[in-house]
Amino acid sequence: MRMSERIAVDHANSKEGTPMPRYEFICEKCERAFELIMTIAEREKAETRCPSCKSTKVLPLLAPVMVQTSKKS
C-alpha cells in the first residue's frame, strides 16, 4: 500500500471560515489514500471516486477526530 501518497481534494462549497468534515478513503484499485472535504449532505449523496484512477472501489478510513468547544475544561 502506498499510504505515503495522500491526495487531498476539496469539494467544499461552503462559506469561508466554516469548518467542513474531512473524509479519508483508500482506493482498492490503485491503493492510494485520499481525503475529501465536503458537507455531510454531500457525503450521503455522493458516489465516492478515487481522484487518481476514478474507481468507485474505495474504503473509508478511520481518522482521528478533533472536537473544538467554546469553553476550556
Specify which residues 34 forms β-bridges with.
7, 25
Average of per-residue pLDDT across 3-19? 53
Domain borders along the chain are 2-60
Task: Look up residue 13 and give its three cell numbers.
Answer: 462549497
Average of per-residue pLDDT across 27-42? 92
Say if residue 16 is exposed, middle or buried (CB neighbours under 10 Å; 0-12, 13-18, 19+): exposed
pTM: 0.62
Average pLDDT over the chain reads 78
pLDDT tens digits, residue range 60-70?
A: 998 666 666 77
R_g (Cα) of the chain, nearest Å:
14
Average of per-residue pLDDT across 53-64? 89
Dihedrals phi, psi of 48, to nearest 5 degrees: -75, 130
The pLDDT of residue 31 is above 70: yes
Q: Considering the chain, what percentage of its residues have pLDDT values greater than 90?
A: 37
